Chains A and B, each alone.
Chain A
Amino acid sequence: MTPLDQLLALSALTVVAVWMIGNRQVTGWNATILYAAQGVLLLMMAGLGYGDVQSIASSVTFRVLGHDLHWRFNGLSWFFALITIGAAFLASWFASGEWGQRYRAAGGSLRLFHVALALNVFSMLVLLASGDLLSLFIGWELVSWASFLIMALGSATATRYAMRYVTYAFAGAMAVLMALVMVNTQSGSFEFQAFREAVPAMSDGSLWMIVVLFAAGFGVKMALIPFHLWQAKAYAETPGPGAAFLGAISSRMGLFALVVVLVQLISVARLADLQLVFPFFSARDLLSWVAVLTLIFATFTALRQHDARRLLAWHGIGQGGYMLLGVLIADDLGSAGGLMHVFNHATYQAVLFMAVTAVIHRTGTSDLNKLGGLVTRMPLSFVAMLIGIIGLAGLPPMNGFVSKWLLYRALIIDGSPLLFLGSVVGTLGTILSVYKLIHNTFLGQLRLEHVEVEEAPSSMVWPMMILSTIVFVTGYFPGLVLDWVASAQAAVGLPVLAHNLGGVPSHKGGLDMIWVVSVLLAGFGIGTLVFFAGGRSKRVHQLDNYAGGHFLTAETRYQYSDNFYPGLMHLIGPWYRKSFRWLERGVVSTVDTLAQAMQGLYRVVHPSFYLLVAVVSALTWVATK
């Protein structure tokens, strides 16, 4: 057995074991231990992550209908697998303690939840290991249905949106299958190598078709515009730790598949040659703009959300835009930024979802208009969320800053001012909405009904603290992650980023996070010194406050949260037109009308009439031959 076989076998075993243990409290702990073991097996393949080993194959191969199916891990797979297993480990840990108890008491089945999670991990590993287009498709389908399973465990809303996801995802899968079959016709097999070799000979028309079909199919998972309507609500309403897991990694599988197909097999250079409007607009530009528009639309939709989970889920969609954009720039900086953002996003998104779930666990709501002031009651959760939002907003000293820096730098070097502008607009929206998130949850005045609230239980705090530490440490020493990113780049044939522990050395202005963060910390240190040494500070109670020039007594709770950003919304409010929702409804009603017509066709009273028509027209056709 190769190490990959062991990993996949253990992952499959996890599913079985969790199923066998059943709906019990220990299920979660067992699953957590098994994920840890999977992590150990993955670390034994760490050579992939540091470029020492190119590829580890699985000894399992099949030959069906004359097509070979095989699986292997390379640097890219390893990088994504690390995030997957890490996210599953922490999410499972988070779910194992009090959260699980309460979930079970409320009628949820921990067996189903953990089986769904384990199935997700297993299917993702299978997808990441795919060694040819057919195994890629099989993995893809497994991932789709596994994530449907975990989404369908949620509330009725989640099930409804999961249903929507099935529709989009399966239509997408059919697009992918169509593209695969086209590739097979042109290159003679489903092998990666054959596809890569056939690309130069393909005509622009057929390559366009293939690119569009692949991008649409895999784009569904990433919720790229215009396939974005399903994701936010489906993810948001998934049971808490499940949402953290899905938010961290699930939709990145779409990015993985796109990287494999567009970058590794077709190559971005070829995409740039596919002109839509000569010489301004190529397939690469098209996809880049889809990425940027997804970023802007999703981020500004997030800004409007009143529910913390939906806000985060919309950001998940938006941040995917950065990743795709980075990969499409395809130079060493940009693609490193895009790939590194996958890791960074997973860490801060997971911690944010966990913090919100912790708040729900204690207060019962994630409605941003019904929270506030929890910082005094749940300080550790506050710290976790603070670190998370700094990461999401892309500010130093957290890791989100590094990936965005790489991306912006690449966009400037690449000479794409409009894309750059779009990304900046997206970042602006992000900063505004994450402030809304933390302010409405933790800052301001505590509500009367939350006075008794306590800090989240340790089973929740520990995973959050671990993730926060990762967010900070990989921001301080981005080289830790950039090592893996570099091997991922090498694995798909992208130029490899030269980096060191602190960031990117360059005489034209590199980035040294050790320096940046140290200066920042020193600044904070000086500030703290001044604060404590300066004396003259007065402790005030959280409720000792005033608004609009009026002192408010402790009886009057005042938390400014409803109708957040009224001025901004006055300006941009009319831009929200729900056009995509209209579009979707239009498609549905078209299908409905057609379907009605077809039913009418079958509801005929004289069926023999059709027989006559069929015979006459067929014979007429024969006669004209």
Chain B
Amino acid sequence: MNQLALLVALPLITAFLLPVVNRVSTLAARWVGPLVLLLTSAIGISLWPQLGDSAVAVELGGFRPPLGISLYADRMALLFALATSIGTLLLWPSRGEEWLRQSTLALILAASGSGLALSGDLFNIYVFYELVAVVSYGLIAARSSAGSFAATLRYLIVSSFGAALALTGIALVYQATGTLNLAQLSRLAPTHLNNLQGLSAFVLMLIGFGVKAELFPVNTWVPEVYATAPTRVSGLLAGVVSKLALLIIVRLLVLVFNQPEALTVMLVLGMLGVVTGELAAWRARDFNRMIAYSSIGQLGIMFIAFSIPGEAGVFAGLAVALHHLVVKPAMFLLAERWQGSLHRLAGAARTSPLGAALFVLLALSLIGVPPLPGFWAKLLVMVNLMAQENTLYMAGAWVIMGGAALEANYLFRVASSFYHRSDEQSSPAAHRTRDLATASLLGAGLLAGAVLIMPLADEIEGIASQAASKNRYVQTVNPEVLP
């Protein structure tokens, strides 16, 4: 199980070696990054069956908590670490002039993302989170246009403030408990953090980490960044990084802060995210901003789902998150050639029939049309929201429904313009084979998910029940603590 550390270490080392390798051979430097990511993905996949129903805690260097750095891998953590590797591989930066810098940054992103998913204590989480943030500034500024710099700067400001807030939250937790190890926190939380200080710490961390998870109202950077950054980077941020931030929040909720108030805050902010995001997307006039706003709405749904107490919430939220993890990057890959005004896209199906068909498929799944996986995820969320028999949760269900109705309208307005026979306008250029192939792969994954929904649902339920169990976490890390 010590290979776990490789998921973090390998890409990190490669990233630092990349400039050196480039001196020796450019060809090697171009290929070593994807190959390493392929390797880490393979390692991750090979660990999956070993992990099975049991979770693993690894103390790096053999130091036991609370002193050492501990990695914790249950299936959820491994899943997101894998998603980071595979996602970075699929969305590997295109070959521009800046390819060396981009590749290096992408590798660091993969390393820190995996680290974030696997970390077992708050301090490491914070470090990896900062690393992810710094790397993403570099990645999104790659276009070197004025708009891109402005967007990056705004993102940088919000993100740094967010990180500072999160750090304040962590400090509050440390002040109350004297530890940052999640397992120990989990034991101490009921006595030490079940108070105003604990709730404040949670709120600070929620807002701090929420910056990356596109939480309302600290998500104002989203539309500009996604509209100006390279589309592959946007796909990575919207698809993978946002989920990593969400994962931290969910871990904190499950292990440390299971107060109902904490859930209420998340629910309300999630609802506001859906309302604002979907409405803004409805009026968006360019493709990237439209899917950026829609991603805000989708993340809002995830916050709503994770705010459902207990295992049901983790299950529902995980389902929506995984679905979004597949769909959004594919959308952004399609956006590569479809940037700019939506009017320009009339007749796009002629130049890119497969791209248009993929967009329709993704849109159908996103709004939740059966039998695509998006429907089952949405159904799960709705059923569990209703089962709470609480007015606020019921309102959440209504908000999700209304958002989906709006989303159907704006997505299919675009989709039907693709097939609109217009002769005078010039259609946008056809997609690059690489983008289209990757998007098709994700689309095929979606279809496979629809066919294999039964085993898939069981697997995700297993992952969720494992992740939602506080005792299992504590027991895995400190077997002697609990009988």
B287 shortest CB reach to chain A, Å: 15
A332 shortest CB reach to chain B, Å: 36
Per-residue 0/1 for B380-402: is the Cβ within 8 Å of any A Cβ (1 yes, 0 no)? 10110111010000000110011
- Residues of B263-301 at the interface with A, using a CB-CB cut-off of 8 Å, are 265, 275-277, 279-280, 282-284, 293
Are B386 and A607 in contact (CB-based, < 8 A)?
no
Are B370 and A137 in contact (CB-based, < 8 A)?
yes
Q: Is B162 an interface residue (CB 8 A)?
A: yes
Of the 9-residue stretches B97-105, B199-207, B239-247, B472-480, which lies at the interface with chain A?
Answer: B199-207
B52 shortest CB reach to chain A, Å: 22
Are B453 and A167 in contact (CB-based, < 8 A)?
no
Q: Is A280 an interface residue (CB 8 A)?
A: no
Q: Is A568 an interface residue (CB 8 A)?
A: no
Query: Within 8 Å CB of A601, what residues of B?
Result: 217, 220, 276, 280
Nearest 4 CB-CB pairs, A to B?
A170-B408, A595-B283, A171-B405, A607-B220
Are A611 and B218 in contact (CB-based, < 8 A)?
yes
B452 shortest CB reach to chain A, Å: 11
B175 shortest CB reach to chain A, Å: 16
Docked pose: A156 CA to B347 CA in angstroms: 13
Query: Within 8 Å CB of B275, what residues of A?
Result: 598
Query: Within 8 Å CB of B223, what residues of A?
Result: 602
Query: Residue B161 contacts which of A65, A145, A611, A613 (CB distance < 8 angstroms)?
Result: A611
Q: A171-B408, A184-B383 are in contact. List 8 more A-B contacts (CB 8 A).
A: A141-B375, A163-B412, A591-B406, A595-B282, A595-B283, A602-B219, A611-B217, A614-B218
Are B293 and A170 in contact (CB-based, < 8 A)?
no
Q: Is A62 an interface residue (CB 8 A)?
A: yes
Query: Residue B196 contacts which of A162, A174, A622 (CB distance < 8 angstroms)?
Result: A622
The chain B residues found within 8 Å of chain A, CB to CB, are: 154, 157-158, 161-162, 165, 196, 199-200, 203-204, 206-207, 211, 217-223, 261, 265, 275-277, 279-280, 282-284, 293, 364, 367, 369-371, 375-376, 378-380, 382-383, 385-387, 389, 397-398, 401-402, 404-406, 408-409, 412-413, 416, 419-421, 453-454, 457
Are B401 and A608 in contact (CB-based, < 8 A)?
no
The chain A residues found within 8 Å of chain B, CB to CB, are: 62-65, 134, 137-138, 141-142, 145, 152, 156, 159, 162-163, 166-167, 170-171, 174-175, 177-178, 181-182, 184-185, 591-592, 594-599, 601-602, 604, 607-608, 610-611, 613-615, 618-619, 621-623, 625
Docked pose: A128 CA to B192 CA in angstroms: 58
Q: When A and B form their complex, what is the total count of cross-chain residue pairs whose Cβ atoms lie within 8 Å? A: 150
Q: List 14 A-B contacts (CB under 8 A).
A: A138-B371, A141-B375, A166-B408, A177-B382, A182-B386, A591-B282, A598-B275, A602-B223, A602-B276, A607-B158, A611-B165, A611-B218, A622-B200, A625-B196
- A592-B283, A610-B220 known; A178 vs B158 contact (CB < 8 Å): no
- A166-B408, A170-B409 known; A64 vs B367 contact (CB < 8 Å): no
B303 shortest CB reach to chain A, Å: 14
Query: Within 8 Å CB of B397, what residues of A?
Result: 178, 181
Are B261 and A625 in contact (CB-based, < 8 A)?
yes
Docked pose: A560 CA to B210 CA in angstroms: 71
Are A618 and B367 in contact (CB-based, < 8 A)?
no
Query: Within 8 Å CB of A184, what residues of B?
Result: 383, 386
Query: Within 8 Å CB of A614, what residues of B?
Result: 207, 217-218
Identify the closest chain B residue to A163 (Cβ): B416
Are B409 and A166 in contact (CB-based, < 8 A)?
yes
- A185-B387, A619-B203 known; A608 vs B157 contact (CB < 8 Å): yes
Most chain B beta-carbon contacts within 10 A, residue among A599, A621, A625? A599
Docked pose: A386 CA to B410 CA in angstroms: 44
Are B380 and A167 in contact (CB-based, < 8 A)?
no
Query: Within 8 Å CB of A170, what residues of B?
Result: 367, 404-405, 408-409
Identify the closest chain A residue to B281 (Cβ): A595
Are A185 and B389 in contact (CB-based, < 8 A)?
yes
Query: Within 8 Å CB of A598, what residues of B?
Result: 275-277, 279-280, 283
Docked pose: A90 CA to B77 CA in angstroms: 58
Are A607 and B221 in contact (CB-based, < 8 A)?
yes
Query: Within 8 Å CB of B293, what residues of A?
Result: 602
Docked pose: A591 CA to B420 CA in angstroms: 25
Query: Within 8 Å CB of A596, what residues of B?
Result: 283
Docked pose: A151 CA to B200 CA in angstroms: 55
A309 shortest CB reach to chain B, Å: 21
Most chain A beta-carbon contacts within 10 A, residue among B219, B220, B367, B453? B220
Are B386 and A185 in contact (CB-based, < 8 A)?
yes
Are B454 and A622 in contact (CB-based, < 8 A)?
no
B368 shortest CB reach to chain A, Å: 8
Are A177 and B401 in contact (CB-based, < 8 A)?
yes
Are A619 and B200 in contact (CB-based, < 8 A)?
yes
A144 shortest CB reach to chain B, Å: 9
Docked pose: A14 CA to B402 CA in angstroms: 36
- A152-B419, A159-B420, A618-B203 known; A178 vs B398 contact (CB < 8 Å): yes
Are B162 and A64 in contact (CB-based, < 8 A)?
no
Identify the closest chain A residue to B401 (Cβ): A174
Are B401 and A595 in contact (CB-based, < 8 A)?
no
Docked pose: A597 CA to B379 CA in angstroms: 30
Docked pose: A618 CA to B276 CA in angstroms: 19
B453 shortest CB reach to chain A, Å: 6
Most chain A beta-carbon contacts within 10 A, residue among B203, B217, B364, B454? B217
Are A610 and B408 in contact (CB-based, < 8 A)?
no
B321 shortest CB reach to chain A, Å: 16
B214 shortest CB reach to chain A, Å: 11
Query: Within 8 Å CB of A604, what residues of B?
Result: 220
Query: Within 8 Å CB of A163, what residues of B?
Result: 412-413, 416
